Homo-oligomer: A and B are copies of this chain.
Amino acid sequence: MLINELSKKTGITTHTIRFYEKSGLIEGKQDESVKSNNYFHYDEITVEKLDFISDAKSVGFTIKEIGQIIDAWYNKKYTKKQKLEILDDKLISLEQKMKEIKEMKKQILQFKDDVVNDRC
């Protein structure tokens, strides 16, 4: 599919898709047999990747971190061991985020309590 269809399927603008492509997160390929244009074609894996990118951004992963995860999954440049190391590293960082959110929840509940009991 071309970039417009990809954009419609993922809800990500063509501009942002091109930004992600330049950042190395996804990669379209040009059809060598067509000489009249240099349009990029994208496959279902790219749709999958973009959906993942959206989710990963929500949890606060940076473009760089998302790139590492995508490479650990879709790329052949790492050994099995290296891939698992990267993924485990991200799991640890998710656990950390989880812990911080729980702490923040407690803190805000305390704030609420203070408001209710006129301690602020």
Task: Please give the residue numbers on chain A whose beta carbons come within 8 Å of chain B beta carbons, in ascending order.
Answer: 52, 55-56, 58-60, 69, 72-74, 80, 83-84, 87-88, 90-91, 94, 97-98, 100-105, 107-109, 111-112, 114-116, 120
Contacts and interface: CB of A to CB of B under 8 A. Distances in A.
Given A87-B115, A101-B97, A108 B55 contact: no
Main secondary structure of the interface of A (DSSP, over half): helix
A84 B114 contact: no
A59 B120 contact: no
B55 A104 contact: yes
A87 B112 contact: yes
A100 B69 contact: no
Nearest to A97: B101
Contacts of A73: 111, 114-115, 120
A83 B102 CA distance: 21
A74 B115 CA distance: 10
A55 B111 contact: no
B94 A108 contact: yes
